[in-house]
């Protein structure tokens, strides 16, 4: 097992016939040592990735009023505080509302664009794709400035619906990429067959194309939701006083006082995003299982 960490051995590392084991053992031992060293290193790096997130979750159960680790004691005090404070609860609900609207818009726009790109014979498709994909690579502070100026010009700072529309832009690339790759697997002749048999195009799309894209669309929608739910830069400029989302409230509080209640807010952000991510993984696994059958 460890040997194939260094040299990708055939699937079952049986000693090849005609070779004596004794002759190979020195190399194998060195390889084995290297393999264990690599494992140790990888374990350390993965711990570096995961532990800070676990700490936030653990910290939310701290029994004292200040951040400390190891915990002074376990309690749910800060969860009670969080849910008793209407400012935190309102911020959480607002984030959910904005993310829901943003995900809905991003899903419709991204799915339509993916289908249009897949079926369009026109040139200039690359340009359209670049327009749809670029929100993924544009520095977020640049996007924040753009929205701040435009929101201010049109006097819509603090309007949650407008914020949701702005957020939907960031979800579009995810939906587009997910649905595009699913469309590549989808046999477009099925659409043609339905059309030949007399189904109208909208009917074909609704009954033939969309059903086979549902898992890709839902994956894209979930990511669009997550992006909008924990967006923390644009909101600093466009929230005004009316639209304090959960990340915005967390940001403000981190700057003024550090209490375990913040860890509760962080834990909720983690739980929502990781939960939705695991949900999309589950959808993927279920789909694979169905296809195998």
For the segment 124-143, give every residue that binds other proteins (CB under 8 A).
128, 131-133, 135-143
Taking the C-alpha atoms of residue 236 and residue 148, their distance in angstroms, rounded to an integer, is 9
- Total residues contacting other proteins by CB under 8 A comes to 109
Regarding 79 and contact with other proteins (CB under 8 A), the answer is: no
Comparing C-alpha atoms, which of 268, 246, 267, 260 is closest to residue 57? 267
Residues 211-270 that bind other proteins (CB under 8 A): 216, 219-220, 223, 226, 230, 232-233, 236-237, 247, 250-251, 254-255, 258, 262-263, 266, 269-270
CA distance 237 to 257: 21
- Shortest separation between residue 107's beta carbon and other proteins, angstroms: 11
Q: By rule CB under 8 A, what string of x and - marks binding of each residue 11-50 to other proteins?
A: ----------------x--xx--x---xx-xx--xx-xxx
Q: Does 6 bind other proteins (CB under 8 A)?
A: yes
Q: Would you say 98 or 113 has its CB closer to other proteins?
A: 113
Record the tokens describing residue 196, joined without a space: 């030949």
Out of 98, 102, 117, 163, which residue is the one contacting other proteins (CB under 8 A)?
A: 117
Q: Verify binding: residue 71, other proteins, rule CB under 8 A.
A: no
Pick out residues in 96-115 that bind other proteins (CB under 8 A): 109-110, 112-113, 115
- As measured in angstroms, the least distance from the Cβ of 257 to other proteins is 12
List beta partners, residue 74: 62
* Phi, psi dihedrals of residue 74, rounded to the nearest 5°: -95, 140
Task: Kindly state the smallest distance separating residue 20's Cβ from other proteins, in Å.
Answer: 16
Side-chain half-sphere exposure of 9, counting CA atoms within 13 A: 14
CB neighbours of residue 279 within 10 Å: 13
Q: Cβ contacts of residue 240 below 8 Å, gap of 6+? A: 157, 158
Q: Are 242 and 160 in contact (CB under 8 A)?
A: yes
Residue 101 to residue 287: CA distance in whole angstroms = 26
Binding mask 151-190 for other proteins (x = CB under 8 A): --x-----------xx-xx--xxx--xx--x---------
């Amino acid at each position: 097992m460890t040997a194939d960490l260094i040299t990708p051995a055939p699937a079952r590392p049986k000693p090849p016939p005609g070779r004596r084991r004794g002759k190979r053992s020195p190399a194998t031992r060195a390889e084995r040592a290297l393999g264990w060293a690599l494992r140790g290193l990888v374990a350390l790096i993965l711990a570096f990735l995961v532990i800070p997130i676990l700490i936030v979750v653990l910290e939310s159960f701290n029994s004292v009023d200040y951040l400390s680790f190891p915990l002074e004691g376990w309690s749910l005090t800060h969860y009670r505080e969080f849910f008793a404070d209407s400012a935190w609860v309102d911020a959480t609900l607002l984030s959910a509302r904005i993310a829901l609207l943003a995900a809905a818009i991003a899903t419709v726009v991204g799915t339509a664009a993916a289908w249009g790109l897949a079926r369009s014979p026109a040139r200039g498709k690359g340009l359209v794709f670049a327009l749809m994909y670029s929100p993924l690579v544009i520095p977020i502070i640049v996007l924040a400035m753009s929205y701040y100026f435009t929101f201010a010009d049109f006097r819509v700072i603090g309007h949650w619906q407008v914020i949701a529309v702005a957020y939907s832009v960031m979800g579009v690339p995810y939906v587009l990429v997910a649905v595009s790759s699913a469309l590549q697997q989808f046999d477009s002749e099925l659409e043609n067959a339905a059309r030949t048999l007399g189904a109208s195009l909208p009917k074909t799309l609704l009954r033939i194309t969309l059903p086979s894209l549902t898992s890709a669309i839902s994956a894209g929608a979930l990511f669009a939701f997550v992006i909008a739910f924990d967006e923390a830069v644009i909101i600093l400029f466009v929230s005004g006083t009316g639209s304090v989302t959960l990340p915005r409230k967390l940001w403000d509080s981190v700057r003024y006082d550090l209490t375990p209640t913040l860890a509760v807010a962080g834990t909720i952000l983690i739980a929502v995003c990781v939960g939705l991510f695991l949900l999309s993984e589950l959808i993927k696994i279920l789909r694979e299982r169905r296809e195998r059958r």
